[in-house]
Structure 1
């Protein structure tokens, strides 16, 4: 779906706005080295556009020193640059529902803040390779509702921890790494990618209101 984004800025933080004049919005938060043009986020954007959402891609970047802090401090920092854009977009247009999609680093503010807050509109959360090895991440996920995708070769994967997340919609892929790829088999990667987006589309359509544009 070829929609040229508007290049916007809020408080000095750039973001891309894919405007379909929709009443539904998706906020996308990328990983540290996993950009919006890499497969999982690229196809996530295409899926949400196909389903009729406006899409916001927040183009943050951080100095390497940030990652020497405690995990909660890192999460706070990402939230502090993301949230002004989220609040601005939700103020300037009467959206009736929202989706947050995070990849790795981008899942931290979703799990630690947005999933812990009350939302004025129906909101869903999509967590791609969240950092389950972090204690506070697991604590904040318990008894919550979200879609979570991870591979068994991801260093943050733990079968014991996955078993505790009984309220989440889980997509666990055998042998996939932190990029949701099988580094030794490209065909398997493509097959897993198809399965992921079939599950993700079903989750959004099952749990979300009908979309009107």
Structure 2
């Protein structure tokens, strides 16, 4: 990347900060195994920098025992880790706009908390493979608005659920899995990534 990240830590949570000297900020929350080096999050970071945003990648980590809780408790756990960084960064600079991008686990604090709160600044939300199989997630998405991408072979994909989410900008990828990839179809997977980033850029402009 042309803009190198600054590795920081606050309240015991690490984060990568890409400072493009902007008054707009993008907060990114990764999945459990889908890290910021993976294609969709790597190129989403590049895209947000291209669009003139500072980018904050929250680098939380949890052990397997912590995932034995109820889904709502897991969501709160991720939110508490992420929000300490969000609140800290927002207190350090007068941002006028925010975008929240989450992948899988990282969509939980967005759907369950940020989308339900009154934001101090105008905010938009990007949900890459949200956990639509969780009842509380679906409930929290109803009558809200976000960019939502999901593959039809993702275990959390549900045609019936998506039909209820017509208020969202939906990107439904045929035959794509939970990583929004098609197994053993490398070129098609790269094309999917390009298509999603093109749609996301249009959504954010």
Is TM > 0.5 for Structure 1 vs Structure 2?
yes
Listed as ranges, the gaps of 5+ residues in structure 1 are 206-213
Shift >4 Å, 4+ stretches: none
Secondary structure of 2:162's match?
helix
Secondary structure of 1:107's match?
helix
Q: Which moved more, 1:143-152 or 1:184-193?
A: 184-193
Secondary structure of 2:33's match?
coil
CA shift at 1:80, angstroms? 0.8
1:47-196 alignment runs, 5 A limit: 47-196=47-196
1:17 corresponds to 2:17: yes
Q: TM-score, normalised by structure 2?
A: 0.99
Counterparts of 1:173 and 1:180 in 2: how far apart (Å)?
Answer: 7
Deviation string 1:98-144 (CA, Å, 9 cap, x unpaired) is 00000000000110000000012110000000000000000000000
Give the equivalent residue in structure 2 for 1:210: none
Task: Report the aligned-residue RMSD.
Answer: 0.6
Q: Which has the higher contact order (CA 8 A, sep 6+)?
A: 1
Deviation string 1:4-63 (CA, Å, 9 cap, x unpaired) is 111111101110100011000000000000110000100000000000100000111101
Listed as ranges, the gaps of 5+ residues in structure 2 are none
Counterparts of 2:202 and 2:4 in 1: how far apart (Å)?
Answer: 26
Counterparts of 1:86 and 1:120 in 2: how far apart (Å)?
Answer: 12
Secondary structure of 1:77's match?
helix
Counterparts of 2:25 and 2:196 in 1: how far apart (Å)?
Answer: 21
Counterparts of 2:113 and 2:150 in 1: how far apart (Å)?
Answer: 21
CA shift at 1:191, angstroms? 1.2
CA shift at 1:193, angstroms? 1.1
Secondary structure of 1:100's match?
strand
Counterparts of 1:191 and 1:35 in 2: how far apart (Å)?
Answer: 20
Secondary structure of 2:170's match?
strand
Secondary structure of 1:62's match?
coil
Counterparts of 2:51 and 2:147 in 1: how far apart (Å)?
Answer: 17
Q: TM-score, normalised by structure 1?
A: 0.95
